[in-house]
Amino acid sequence: MCQPIVAWLALPTGMRPLGLEPRKEDQAMASATLEVLLPAYRSALVARGHRPRGIDRYLDQLRAFTTYLGPDATMEQLTTAAITAYQEDFARRSSPGTVGKGLTVIRSFCRWAIRVGHRTDDPTLTIEWPRRTKPAPRALKKSELRRLFGALSSYSQLSPLHEFMLHRNRRAIFLMLFAGLRISEVAALRWRDVDLEGASLMVRQGKGGKDRYVPIHPILLRELQAAPSHYRSFAVAGGKDGHQLSPKSLAHIFEIWLPKRGLRISAHQLRHTFATELLKHKGDLRHIQELLGHESLETTQGYLAVDIEGLRSVVALLPHEW
């Protein structure tokens, strides 16, 4: 079971060993709902240096699990059987990768509970994580790129708001396509971190909490220089008031704005296109790793799998006649 306190409380009053009564605060914590424990878990994540976006994702995943267990679920209901049942239910509507992330959050919560004395066992120890098959990155085809640039062309007779949205969305898309930024990094980019004169920008607190410099491609530079000076107050791809948009809000470009223009692509495809085009034109793999902000070179090497032109040259070595 999860801890001695729970076992002690489960005994009839007359059968509880004298002199072994848990402290009142421990008894209260043992009977506390999982939802009540979330603020303390959040504080622990903050103390360990997790970034705000990551903390929010962890708590969202954990609340999905506690909702599945029920509003009154306590540490006693957090069992291997309950986690397995949740995993099976979750897998019916989510990818193996998403299910795995949810299990990782539950494991993190259980291990925190052990460290602070809320339980003595880890119910995730015997849980098997789902197998993940990582698909090869898919860059945009030339036809898709032509359609993308067509969708980003200026339109006549736009209202001031739609004119602003067009140019804001162009900046966001070009930052992914010509600088390889993740959508979360585009959302967080501020004008103070863009050096138009030196043609470089700084990505602060990228994935893994690391900063990196990225040179600005001439096409992206022209787009950034075209932004009116009174919009250059805070977020590069923010709202009309200059304030930063969330990655979810920025994702509307790909979920709503581009589909209305007949194009369905993902933000990550732009980043894939950036990497594969650099590889296609003989860019150094370690330089590409730095530009993408990959911690491991192995991650960057995944883009080698889509170097079709390189594979084509090898296939061309086959004789035309036998």
The alpha carbon of 128 is separated from its chain's Cα centroid by a whole number of angstroms, namely 23
Task: Give the burial string for 168-198 (b: 16+ CB within 10 Å, else e).
Answer: bbbbbbbbbbbbbbbbbbbbbbbbeebeeee
- Within 8 A by CB and 6+ apart from 259, the residues are none
Q: Which two tokens stand for residue 262?
A: 């007949």
What spatial distance separates the first Cα and last Cα of the chain, rounded to whole Å? 71
Q: Which helix (H) or strand (E) holds 149?
A: helix 142-151
Pairing verdict, β 200-203 and 194-195:
antiparallel
Query: At CA 125, angle to CA 119 and CA 128, rounded to 5?
Result: 145
Q: Residue 215 is which amino acid?
A: P
Catalytic residue numbers, as ranges: 182, 207, 268, 271, 294, 303
